[in-house]
Chains A and B, each alone.
Chain A
Amino acid sequence: MNQMTEVEQKAVEMLNEPKIVARNVQVYYGDTHAIKDVDVDIPAQSVTAFIGPSGCGKSTFLRTLNRMNDTIDICRVEGDILIDGEDVYDPKVDPVQLRAKVGMVFQKPNPFPKSIYDNVAYGPRIHGLSRNKTELDEIVTSSLQKAGLWDEVKDRLDAPGTGLSGGQQQRLCIARAIAVNPEIILMDEPCSALDPIATAKVEELIDELRENYTIVIVTHSMQQAARVSQRTAFFHLGVLVEEGPTEDIFTNPHDKRTQDYITGRFG
């Protein structure tokens, strides 16, 4: 109890600095200890990349940030995750409200089988972000613009979202996340299902979004982490091995494991 208030205290002190603070986070899947003792600070208005070999727990950790793991029965989270100094695992927190603040984009583009317009309008509608149709239209338009998809789809907003190309679908999913007006956007390997050209577009988009949002991205590709992120965290076997400015991690890793991974010894 004592320790917790101490942590909160510290968080309040650093309020201006990190958007997300994680301390001593443990995640269990049934009997498996998937995430061990993770401490990390994620600054606002920047892109933080989680890298590491597959199965290292980076996606699992990402999903604890907006409590997406709640939907899995056997998953259990311990430790503190604070967003703006508030513990997201506090019993008073409604995950629904949390997820409006912390949006998410998934590995595989997953547009709903609805029209492009309805895909983007879905979030604002359920959260009641607009008072009338005009406002909703505005939100949809600006979200699509921010996602860089507007010019491609403005003439066919009524077409099904599933009919777009893979890259367009992923940008539609980003637009859908933006439309809820979140402060943080979590991206779980958003480009792994896309071809290089679509990937480039999405990366460009991430870079632009940084101005207004705190972005956490899980990626397989070290080049991508180097291209889009300001800070990088390296996970290995459920442990956060090293975290720091992206340049430092790639040019001057402290840990042997990070070095091995970056130089391609394993992964």
Chain B
Amino acid sequence: MSDTIASTDAAATAGPRKGSLLVLDKRTRKRNAAEARFRLMGQIAVTIGVLALVGLLTSILMNGLSSFRQTYIQVSVYLDPAKLDKNGNRNLEDIAKVTTFGYAPLLKKALADKMAKEGISIEGLSEKDAAALISKEAPADLRRYVLAHPTSIGKTVSFNLLASGRIDGYYKGRVTMESAKLDRNVSPQQLMLADKLKADGVLTTRFNWEFFTAPDASDTRPEAAGLGVAILGSAYMMLVVLVLSLPLGVAASIYLEEFAPQNALTDLIEVNIANLAAVPSIVFGILGLAVFINFAGLPQSAPIVGGLVLTLMTLPTIIIATRAALKAVPPSIRDAALGVGASKMQSVFHHVLPLAMPGILTGTIIGLAQALGETAPLLLIGMVAFVREYPGAPPEGFFDPASALPVQVYNWTQRGDPAFVERASGAIIVLLVFLVLMNLIAIILRRRFERRW
């Protein structure tokens, strides 16, 4: 003990003695500077995180918002019986024999007449080039109209037709006079004509409803491409996911949380659920391709297959959320039910489950939102296919080919025409709006029914 005390005095003088507390010593100042630097690093990190979000959203909005507006050309077309119904008998089958190519001259003539009437002429612009202002999709639209209204043949009907993608791009800043000089698909003369037509009110830009309803269009017709099939396909898939994953997930959670004995099987299930939550989504795509398509022989590109794959992916999310919700119901509720003579099953289904329902629904909606944005697995089960036909009504429609919102985005990014970048960004906005709505519902549910014991 004595040597301890002896060494004490030596050590007590070892450290430098401090001065007044009111004066910052040099070292403290240095340390405070380091503190400030560290704090600044934190601020920078948070700023980067927030800026990344802002940048991401701004980039998508700037590129995509214009897809909600579209340029149209208003022309009166004389539906020439000599061209559309050579036999003159208004027989639908005969009319149907005229292909879309047969309708193109009508449009060309209609636009030329319009220009003549308004006194518009552009030097070095042929009638054919002028007609190229109108989308290649327009003759098909015209044909569809005539087939639906055969009596209109011989009359002059006013149509609001899509302008071609480049003309549309001109009014969205994507195409300029300079770029048109270098562009095979559009000439400055055509743009001048477009300007004149706009001045006369023939060419207008308005809200693009077709973007939400129309099916996809081919490579050369970005102006006609819409999300109709993709939205329907995504909706079908979400329906499948909801119908399958909610009951399965809730049943599995109830078993694991309320009934499962402590044994190897339960452990195995738990381990599986934890690991499935971390399996890369593309592996689920491989599973879908190998099992649902190649093995079970379900059709490619079908919402049912997409729904099944997404169900398997969503299950862990729903199970984890449901178990948390079940766990949050205090044991006293179970004890109370058991105490009045209810069976275990009755206590769960009559008391615990209804109390846990808001939590379960919130988890389910969040799981659905995840599934809605999932892309990779759908690529592997053939959802990338070019689908123009709307799937039929459920349940048969589940087996028809369809697209999905995120896959449609991917599809459009693979096309050559830059107008498709606008479409892809627009589709992202639609997707994000759906996600925001779903999450809002989840938040409202949670706020409204949140219970604290």
Contact = CB atoms under 8 A, between A and B. Distances in A.
Is there direct touching of A and B in the complex, by C-beta distance under 8 Å?
yes
Interface residues of A, number: 32
Contacts of A146: 4, 7-8, 11
Contacts of B21: 83-84, 86, 88, 90, 93, 97-98, 101
Contacts of B7: 142, 145-146
Contacts of A150: 4
Given A138-B14, A142-B11, A208-B5, A93 B31 contact: no
A129 interface: yes
A92 interface: yes
A3 B16 CA distance: 35
B182 interface: no
B32 interface: yes
A150 B5 CA distance: 13
Given A139-B15, A142-B8, A208-B4, A90 B22 contact: yes
B12 interface: yes
B31 A129 contact: no
A127 B5 CA distance: 25
Contacts, number: 66
Contact of A96 (B12, B20, B32): B32
B22 A92 contact: yes
Contacts of A43: none
A150 B4 CA distance: 10
B335 interface: no
B28 A143 contact: no
B11 A93 contact: no
Interface residues of B, number: 21
A158 interface: no
A94 interface: yes
B10 interface: yes
Interface string B23-49: 111011001100000000000000000
Contacts of A128: 27
Nearest to A150: B4
A181 interface: yes
A152 interface: no
Chain B CB within 10 Å — which of A90, A93, A128, A150 has the most? A128
Contact of A142 (B10, B24, B32): B10
A247 B191 CA distance: 104
A5 to B, nearest CB: 15
Contacts of A135: 14
A212 B24 CA distance: 25
Contact of B12 (A97, A98, A212): A212
Given A88-B21, A101-B18, A145-B7, A94 B12 contact: no
Contacts of B14: 129, 135, 138-139, 142, 181
Among A124, A129, A145, find the residue whose CB has the most chain B CB atoms closer than 10 A. A145
Interface in A110-153: 124, 126-129, 135, 138-139, 142-143, 145-146, 148, 150
Given A126-B31, A145-B4, A208-B4, A97 B24 contact: yes
B8 A211 contact: yes
A94 B28 contact: yes
A20 interface: no
A240 interface: no
A100 interface: yes
Contacts of A94: 24, 28, 32
A127 B27 contact: yes
A127 to B, nearest CB: 7
A80 B40 CA distance: 33
A126 B32 CA distance: 12
Contacts of A143: 11
24 contacts: A83-B21, A86-B21, A90-B21, A92-B23, A94-B28, A94-B32, A96-B32, A97-B18, A97-B28, A101-B18, A124-B15, A127-B27, A139-B15, A142-B10, A142-B14, A143-B11, A145-B4, A145-B8, A146-B4, A148-B4, A181-B12, A181-B15, A208-B4, A212-B8
Interface of A: 83-84, 86, 88, 90, 92-94, 96-98, 100-101, 124, 126-129, 135, 138-139, 142-143, 145-146, 148, 150, 180-181, 208, 211-212
Given A126-B31, A142-B14, A212-B12, 12 more contacts: A83-B21, A84-B21, A86-B21, A92-B23, A97-B21, A129-B14, A129-B16, A145-B4, A181-B12, A208-B4, A208-B5, A211-B8
For the complex of A and B, 6 pairs with smallest distance between CB atoms: A142-B11, A181-B15, A129-B15, A86-B21, A92-B22, A93-B21
